[in-house]
């Protein structure tokens, strides 16, 4: 019996934080924007740290990042400046770093957006519970409630999309290390999330219903909304 079958798979988290947040209008990488008294990234990391089954969280930064230590001086997890120009490159760099630190093929990796600062530990636990014995893995997601329209270059509606089977993908997204590594390597920078890369291999990730509050801070007005929700939560 080899090492990977002689013990239970572990859960690791990767938080890619190598982006510059161009759409946010913040004038700095959005993961460092203060929301409810802390950098947005700090809120996401605190939620992951509160999940006992995650043995370690790795933050993936740009090699040029010179802000992290000053912005999050108390961070006690793993850190690697191996981020790339795309999400896929950053996550692949993080997976390689996990391997260097002892992670194995069948270990679970939960990839979480740094910009989802409203994450709650119980949502992560629900994802782990749903995927722990799944053959593929899965992701937090929310069924689409709004009517969906297709628009053209002139800003006019060209079609209405049936929303009955549509979901909005969230994070974390949870897959075995070897599987997500193979999927992202095959799809490359075109992968907007890990699940899409796994789907390209012909597999069907599990959808785990989450809260609409697990929003991704993207646009300038999102910062004020996230702050209100965090302060209300206390």
CA distance 164 to 53: 34
0.85 surpassed by pTM: yes
Tell me if 28 is assigned to some domain.
yes
* Count of domains forming the chain: 1
Tell me if 2 is assigned to some domain.
no
Between the alpha carbon of residue 62 and those of residues 1, 65, 91, the distances in Å are 39, 5, 12
**For residue 169, what pLDDT band results from cuts at 50, 70 and 90?**
very high
In this predicted model, what pLDDT tens digit does every residue of 56-98 receive, in sequence order? 999 999 999 999 999 999 899 999 999 999 999 999 999 999 9
- According to the model, what pLDDT value does residue 29 have? 86
Tell me if 5 is assigned to some domain.
no
Write out the two tokens for 58.
């790795």
Answer yes or no: is pLDDT of 107 > 90: yes
Tell me if 68 is assigned to some domain.
yes
Answer yes or no: is pLDDT of 14 > 70: yes
The C-alpha angle 223, 229, 233, rounded to 5 degrees, equals 145
**For residue 26, what pLDDT band results from cuts at 50, 70 and 90?**
low
Tell me if 149 is assigned to some domain.
yes
Answer yes or no: is pLDDT of 1 > 50: no
Tell me if 3 is assigned to some domain.
no
Domain carrying residue 204: 11-229
CA dihedral over 184, 188, 194, 196, signed as positive or negative: negative
- According to the model, what pLDDT value does residue 27 have? 63
Tell me if 63 is assigned to some domain.
yes
Report the CATH number that the domain containing residue 108 is assigned in CATH: 3.90.550.10
């Amino acid at each position: 019996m080899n090492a990977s079958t002689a013990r239970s798979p572990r859960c690791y988290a990767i938080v890619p934080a190598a982006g510059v947040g161009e759409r946010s209008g913040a004038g700095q990488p959005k993961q460092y924007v203060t929301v409810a008294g802390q950098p947005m990234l700090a809120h996401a990391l605190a939620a992951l740290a509160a999940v006992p089954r995650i043995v370690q969280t790795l933050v993936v930064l740009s090699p040029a990042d010179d802000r992290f230590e000053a912005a999050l001086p108390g961070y006690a997890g793993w850190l690697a400046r191996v981020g790339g120009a795309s999400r896929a490159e950053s996550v692949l760099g993080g997976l390689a770093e996990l391997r260097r630190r002892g992670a194995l093929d069948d270990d679970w990796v939960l990839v979480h957006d740094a910009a989802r600062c409203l994450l709650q530990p119980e949502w992560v636990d629900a994802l782990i519970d749903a995927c722990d014995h799944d053959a593929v893995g899965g992701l937090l997601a929310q069924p689409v409630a709004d009517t969906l329209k297709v628009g053209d270059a002139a800003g006019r509606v060209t079609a209405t999309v049936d929303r009955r089977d549509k979901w909005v993908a969230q994070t974390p997204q949870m897959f075995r290390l070897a599987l997500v590594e193979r999927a992202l390597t095959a799809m490359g920078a075109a992968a907007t999330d890990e699940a899409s890369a796994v789907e390209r291999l012909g597999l069907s990730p599990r959808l785990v219903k989450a809260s609409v509050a697990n929003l991704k801070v993207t646009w300038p007005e999102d910062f004020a909304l996230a702050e209100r929700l965090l302060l209300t939560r206390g």
